Amino acid sequence: MSIATLALLLLAEVLVAIILIGISIEICSYGWKKSNGVKYSCLLLSLILGTASILGLLAAPAYFFLQLVENGL
C-alpha cells in the first residue's frame, strides 16, 4: 500500500470519528429532554458511539505508522 493511500485512510478515519462524536452529542442532547427511560438509553447509545469513535482515533494512526514501518518508508 502506498503512503498516499495510507494517508487517505487515516484522514477518512479521523473524519468518520468526528462525525460520530457529533452524532453522539446530538443523541445525548435529544435524549436529555425526554423521560428517564429514553434519557438513559440515549445516554448509553451516545457513550457507545463516543467510545467507538475515540478508539478509532487511537487505532488509525497506530495502523498508519505500523504500515509505514513495515513498508520501510
For 4, the grid coordinates are: 498516499
Place of cell 495510507: 6
Contact of 46 with 65, CB cutoff 8 Å = no
DSSP structure class, residue 33: T
Task: Provide the strand spans (E) within the chain.
Answer: none
In a structure prediction context, what are the per-residue pLDDT tens digits for the chain, which is 73 residues long? 677 887 888 888 888 888 888 888 888 788 777 788 888 888 888 888 888 888 888 887 888 888 888 877 6
pLDDT at 73: 67
